[in-house]
Amino acid sequence: MVKERSEVKQEGDFQMIHILFGLSGAGSLKMALKAMRVHKIEQIIAFGDIFSIGPVRMLHEKAGQDVRFQWMKNVMNDEDGDFQDYQQWFYNTVNQIHSIPVNVPITIWVADNSHEQTGLRYVLYLLRDKTNKIKVINTTKAHAVHFNRPDIQYTVLKTGEISPEKLQVIYEKGQSKSLSVHERKELEEEWLALADTKETLRIWRNEKIKGVKEDYYDQYMINMAKKLQIEREREQEPEKFMKSARLIGEVIGYLDQYMGDAFFEYRLRKLIEKGVFEMEGNLKAMRYYSVRLAKG
């Protein structure tokens, strides 16, 4: 399945290569390209990883990749045995990028979040020796230009939020230009700076990627749990414990960043280990256990 999703022809007969960070965004763009009748001559390459979490130190080298994979293996609740697929998909995607013919222009789609912006810098470093024309479409800014109205101001958090119809408009009406040699070099150097960091969590603040401690959102999760427990008591919910998925869903729903639910489920398990939360059920997967804040 991974091989099918990530397979790219190497004949060099594509007229455009699109690179995205996230499967939902890639799926929407695929539908947009079909609607435009260019899906047979424009190819999509997509990372299935989340670059806002986990170590990225020296990720452009095998040793750095091994460290990241080990961290992800410890963090992911791999109930369905997806870790091996995740790892193979990562390798396949990197190989696809290295194999892009030099005559094919590349479009990289990114929103304003630490995941996609980290991915952008990583990919540009992987492409550093290629002379392809590369343009970047900032989907957060493009969506605001084409779809925000005085009475409706919506900020796109990730490319995967945008419908195929809107992605088509952004692609067709976009005025983006190719990155200059200087712009590419700047972003490549920003990658090298990121690749020298040790943080396992990154946020997007003031148009920059900022590394923070892994427990950065723990108190936010605790405060959300307090709020939900007060609501449950007010509504006289019979169950003393709330589903972990309910808590994590609320945490993600009010967050101005993109981290993915696996990271917050990992942090919830850490807080259970520390005695901050009590739980009932089985920790093998999020849907199998419920939590509440420990008394006192």
What average pLDDT does range 143-164 have in this prediction? 90
pLDDT band at 4 (very low <50, low <70, confident <90, very high): very low
Mean pLDDT of 136-154: 90
Do 41 and 16 form a contact (C-beta atoms < 8 A)? yes
Q: Three-class SS of residue 152?
A: strand
The residue whose two tokens read 């991974």 is 2
**Contact of 50 with 263, CB cutoff 8 Å:** yes
The pLDDT of residue 39 is: 93
| The pLDDT value given to residue 148 | 84
Residue 119 has pLDDT above 60, yes or no: yes
Q: Over 60: is that where the pLDDT of 10 sits?
A: no
Tokens of 77: 């609740």
- Measure the CA–CA gap between 148 and 166, rounded to whole angstroms: 12
pLDDT in tens, 234-282: 888 788 899 999 999 999 999 999 998 889 999 999 999 999 999 999 9
For residues 164 and 44, the answer to whether their CB atoms sit within 8 Å is: no
Looking at the DSSP assignment, which residues form a beta bridge with residue 66?
Answer: none
State the DSSP code for 180: P
Angstrom distances, CA of residue 92 to CA of 13, 18, 39, 54, 212: 20, 15, 21, 19, 29
pLDDT one-digit tens code per residue, 180-209? 999 999 999 999 999 999 999 999 999 999
Is pLDDT above 70 for 35?
Answer: yes
Separation in Å, CA 247 to CA 161, 166, 218, 219: 21, 31, 12, 13
Measured CA to CA, the distance from residue 62 to residue 263 in angstroms comes to 23
**Other CB atoms closer than 10 Å to residue 46's CB: what's the count?**
23
pLDDT at 2 over 50: no
Which tokens in the block code for residue 49?
């990883």
